[in-house]
Amino acid sequence: MKIRCGKPNTEGTTLVDVVMSVALIAVLAGGMIGSLTFGFQTMGRVRENQRATQVMLETVETIRLYTWDQVNSNGFVPLSFTNVYDPQAAPGRQGVVYYGSIETNRPSLGATIDMNMLQMKVNLRWTNQGIPHLRSVTTYIAKDGLQNYEL
């Protein structure tokens, strides 16, 4: 049996190598956490915008189903409304609250059709993380619209 008594192994990991590798791992982990945070915030904003679009579309489609007399009567179409993201959740945990307003104007098309049409603009405002948001949609309503259409 032979016992080798060679030089002791001097090729170990130094403190500088450990510090540098820990620093590199920390930078990579920080970048990954930052990317995930940015991605979740972006998805939250996309959800808010999508919900705002749904609220505006629901409001416009409801108004389009009203008759001409209902649209022109005072107080039938509410000028303001609110919509919460999740109305069935516990109070204080319902998410973003959307505040809507409806503006009604007579369009100026320069024809006799002006008296038989209305322009309605639905504005939607909400605030999340201190940032105000605004979306709006404009539609027209005709006196002889969907309700009086005959084939």
Whether the CB-CB separation of 94 and 84 falls below 8 Å is answered with yes
Q: Please give the mean pLDDT across all residues of the chain.
A: 84
Q: Which residues of 3-15 are buried (b: 16+ CB within 10 A; e: fewer)?
A: eeeeeeeeeeeee
For 96-125, what is the HEC assignment?
A: CEEEEEEEEECCCCCCHHHHHEEEEEEEEE
Identify the residue with better confidence: 74 or 102. 102
Q: Per DSSP, what are the bridge partners of residue 139?
A: 120
Rg (alpha carbons) of the chain, rounded to whole number: 31
pTM of the predicted structure, to 2 decimals: 0.70
pLDDT at 140: 86
pLDDT in tens, 23-49: 999 999 999 999 999 999 899 889 889
